[in-house]
Structure 1
């Protein structure tokens, strides 16, 4: 058996000191110089160990004062477990499983994990914070996983469950976010560059000659806000006014409702020649609404989706959209969580660049002048 990496020896020592009570909440950890001398390692090794402890919420640094054992404020105590034997099981939590783009993402994750002798423990939240809380409580109770890949729930809104993620980190369970992220939980994420997706979708419509461009975005997911930001910046860069009355904000419940009255959407888009949609699912709903109301697509309204899902291929009018590299997302998420489990912290978030896919739902206006 190979010797443990030197920084893990320092981690073990800290855990044992906490468990024995020698290090308590608020106790000052030995200085870098003291740890270098104590373990006979380089300053870089010590800094890596401290950074790992800080990421897990076990210590906090105070500028000019040193490093101190941390308390988890939600529980009033330090929750730290010693490094345990590997289970070779990864928890994967997504908002949905078989719907929309989630199946190929999960399949890509499972393939990489299987090839590396990991099994997958799959759960879904239906984008509901209550279900997310139930799943996380179960993970913390059983502690039979090595890491967690999770798609955040309603990531555009304040979430009361984020302390569960900090507790997982404090117990030595690495977490990686997929597709989006919670801004107040400092762990790496793997996603498409959502800002770029909104921007290039809008730029494509501008290049096709459209100026009166509306938008439909999801308000309760972080992706929706970032895609709107890209849409807005593309219009401004082209010297086109951003008209708020042409932007429609929807949420998970409205998107899922079969009997929802979408008439208000076409009223908001009445004077538009094109629309950027949050994703292909929204774009197909808009296409169906237009066709039912006798609005020609793309003759009267051009529609641009995001994701390049199967829906885009098989729509009544094949959908122009933006490619979301979903299989790459799943692969990189699986590789990323294994890196974190093995103590190799990811140096940066991975945001993959999208590209436009042209089909039949966008009309090119030939007499356009920029």
Structure 2
């Protein structure tokens, strides 16, 4: 019976949403007992091929394209693809998909909600992909596209978030433990004797909120006065044109001796602003970034940064996606533990 259902799907006689014959009909067709039929249905359900609806019957629930076509196509939707940490994420994903014989399709949203919506609607309209590995767009703000992710799942298209996630959706993600990363950055500055520690965080990104929460955790744990005026929130556009915010940043950081930066891009741009203002790193201001990107390693002052294993994120996301599609493995969230990489951007005032 199990083989018959799978064969009917393969030849297109049964498609997603099709109702299976009743238990009595299956017993008669295959001349087997009710117990045998139920075992077969349980096996198909465990594989995610069918689902039972109370009072209605049993239906095909899987995206039947997986059975009727040999090619497995995985879409990777990122905010950006050729800058900062994103090439490494793509490299990790591509290495797994090529090994598994899957086709990679890349879509770029430019961190714009309207572009995300356009891409998702196209996936839904064409049903041309088997899975979507997606980086969220401005996940710190209300997002009108959450229903489209639910529609993808209803169509049997697997969804996995990478690097960030929408907390409103019960969809697995692969990311850095961002709260712990923010904690680790602030904790290091505290251990080096700093107590006047400012912070610059991304306001429209869920990662920014989590890293800020970790920064606050470290300050409160060490009974350090929290001065809200020393915390600066910038959105995506303000970060892109951060030099225009120089006066505000310098005024807000004021008498701080150190600053936790949302990522290495902000740390790199802040270092340039400080240099132009005659403020030395680390003698006058210590900086810690997050991501351990090339910007941290190769700047004028090599930057202490919390490592984000971006290529491993890509590899893990792709392994989870292909495991789910090809081998019916359950996708689960994975958050990587951060690691501090110390360089020359932090002055030790005193060791605690």
TM-score by length of 1: 0.81
Would you say 1:344 and 2:344 are equivalent positions?
Answer: no
Q: Secondary structure at the match of 1:341?
A: helix
Would you say 1:362 and 2:343 are equivalent positions?
Answer: no
Q: Deviations over 1:232-261 (max 9, x none)?
A: 001111111221111100111111126623
Q: Distance in 2 between matches of 1:101 and 1:322?
A: 13
Partner of 2:171: 187
Partner of 1:73: none
Q: Deviations over 1:21-70 (max 9, x none)?
A: 999xxxxxxxxxxxx947332997587468996xxxx97xxxxxx6989x
Q: Distance in 2 between matches of 1:317 and 1:152?
A: 31
Partner of 2:64: 83
Partner of 1:126: 110
* Cα displacement (A) at 1:19: 3.8
Q: Secondary structure at the match of 1:217?
A: strand
Q: Structure 1's 330 and 320: CA in aligned 2 closer, same or farther, altered over 3 A?
A: same
Q: Distance in 1 between matches of 2:88 and 2:283?
A: 33
Q: Distance in 1 between matches of 2:300 and 2:344?
A: 10
State whether residues 15 and 64 of structure 2, in contact with CA within 8 Å, keep that contact through their aligned partners in structure 1: no
Would you say 1:298 and 2:279 are equivalent positions?
Answer: no
Pick aligned residue for 1:289 from 264, 273, 282: 273
Q: Secondary structure at the match of 1:203?
A: helix
* Cα displacement (A) at 1:204: 0.7
Q: Structure 1's 67 and 235: CA in aligned 2 closer, same or farther, altered over 3 A?
A: farther
Q: CA RMSD in A?
A: 3.1
Q: Distance in 2 between matches of 1:4 and 1:94?
A: 39
Q: Distance in 1 between matches of 2:16 and 2:92?
A: 41
Q: Secondary structure at the match of 1:121?
A: strand
Q: Which range is displaced more, 335-344 or 222-231?
A: 335-344
Q: Distance in 1 between matches of 2:137 and 2:196?
A: 33
Q: Structure 1's 42 and 246: CA in aligned 2 closer, same or farther, altered over 3 A?
A: farther
- Unaligned segments of structure 2, at least 5 residues: 23-33
Q: Structure 1's 81 and 326: CA in aligned 2 closer, same or farther, altered over 3 A?
A: closer
Partner of 1:75: none
Partner of 2:296: 312
Alignment of 1:106-255 (within 5 A): 106-255=90-239
Q: Distance in 2 between matches of 1:179 and 1:118?
A: 21
State whether residues 80 and 86 of structure 2, in contact with CA within 8 Å, keep that contact through their aligned partners in structure 1: yes
Partner of 2:26: none
Partner of 1:72: none
Q: Structure 1's 140 and 16: CA in aligned 2 closer, same or farther, altered over 3 A?
A: closer
Q: Secondary structure at the match of 1:306?
A: strand
Q: Distance in 2 between matches of 1:5 and 1:327?
A: 42
Report how many aligned residue pairs link the two structures: 331
Q: Distance in 2 between matches of 1:315 and 1:52?
A: 55
Q: Structure 1's 162 and 17: CA in aligned 2 closer, same or farther, altered over 3 A?
A: closer
TM-score by length of 2: 0.85
Q: Distance in 2 between matches of 1:309 and 1:255?
A: 17
Q: Secondary structure at the match of 2:143?
A: coil
State whether residues 197 and 258 of structure 2, in contact with CA within 8 Å, keep that contact through their aligned partners in structure 1: yes
Partner of 1:62: none
* Cα displacement (A) at 1:162: 1.1
* Cα displacement (A) at 1:341: 1.2
